[in-house]
Amino acid sequence: MSIVQSYWLYAYSPIHVGAGQGTGFVDLPVVREKVTGWPYIPGTSVKGVLRDEWERLQLGDVHRVFGTQDRAGLATFTDARLVCLPVASLFGTYAYVTCPLILQRLSRDMALAGFDLPDWPRSVDVSQARVAEGSKLGFQFQNADPSLYLLEFCLKADMCELTTSVARKLAEIVFEEEAWRQAFVERFVVVNDQMFQLFSEQGTQVDAHIRMGDHGTVANGALWYEESLPPESLLAGLVALDDPTEDVLSNFTGRRLMQIGGNATTGCGQSQLIFGPRKAVN
C-alpha cells in the first residue's frame, strides 16, 4: 500500500533556488516553470534537504527512504509549486496573492492526498480582486467602489464567500496560531491569471551583491543581482511513500524548520516544512 501526502513550504526569509546564469538584468534568477513562468522549488531540493535532516537527527534508514546512487528510495517528491505570493499593498502592508489557475491546480493535486479544497470554477476579471470577509486590503474613498492597491495597480475589491472559505482552509493547514490564521485570511486575495503573471515577474525580491577586493573596495566586475522568492511565500507539493512502515510515516508528520536553497550563511532559505493530510492508495 502506498501513501500520498501533501507538504507545504512557508518562507521565513528569502529563498534562492537558482536557475544558473540569467539573460536579463538579473544575473542569478530563480527557477521557473517552463509553461507558466511561475517560480517553484524543485522536488529534488526538498528531498535533499529532508534527507540531510534525517541523517543529522538519525531518524531511520536513510538509504531505504531516500535511495542511493544505485537504487530509488520509497519517497518520491513532486516540485513545490507556488500557492501564494506576497505582494506589497497600500493597505494591509502586503497581500497573499493567488489566482484561479493556481487554485484549480492546487485543488486537483491536493485531492490526491485527501485534502479537499472548495472548487474555484470562476475566472476573475482583470480589473477585479476577490477578497475574503473582513479583508484589511481594501479601502473605499467616499462614494467610490472599494478598491485595493497592489504594487502600482488599483483593483476593484469584491468580497467573496468562496474566497473566504479557501483562505480559511489554507490557513488551518499552514498556521498553528489563530492570530496568524486570521491575518492570512484578512490578506488573502485572488486576482486574474494574467495579473498574477505580472506579479510573479515584478513581485520577487532582487538584491544587489558585491565582492570586496584586497583594498576594501569592490572588486572589478564583482557586482551582481540575485533573485529570490520573498519571505511569506507559500508553496505546496506532494510526496508519495511506497509501502512505508509506521516508523517511516511517523517522521512525515508535524512541522520542521529547514534551510533550503543558497546563501545559508546570510540567513536565506529559512522556511517551515509542514506535512499535511495524507491518503492511502492501492
pLDDT the model gives residue 130:
95
pLDDT the model gives residue 159:
92
In angstroms, rounded to a whole number, what is the distance separating the alpha carbons of residues 181 and 275? 17
Of the candidates 76, 50, 64, the one whose C-alpha atom is nearest the C-alpha of residue 240 is 76
144-201 pLDDT per residue, tens: 788 999 999 999 999 989 999 999 999 999 999 999 999 999 999 999 999 999 999 9
46-92 pLDDT per residue, tens: 999 999 888 888 777 888 888 888 888 889 999 999 999 999 999 99
As beta bridge partners, residue 34 has none
| Average pLDDT over every residue of 269-282 | 92
251 Rama class: left (phi>0) / alpha (psi -120 to 50) / beta? alpha
| Average pLDDT over every residue of 197-222 | 79
pLDDT confidence band for 248 (50 / 70 / 90): confident
Ranges of each domain in the chain: 2-17+31-203+229-281
pLDDT the model gives residue 25:
67
111-139 pLDDT per residue, tens: 999 999 988 877 899 999 999 999 999 88
In angstroms, rounded to a whole number, what is the distance separating the alpha carbons of residues 145 and 173? 33
Residue linked to cell 472599494: 146
21-37 pLDDT per residue, tens: 665 667 788 899 999 99
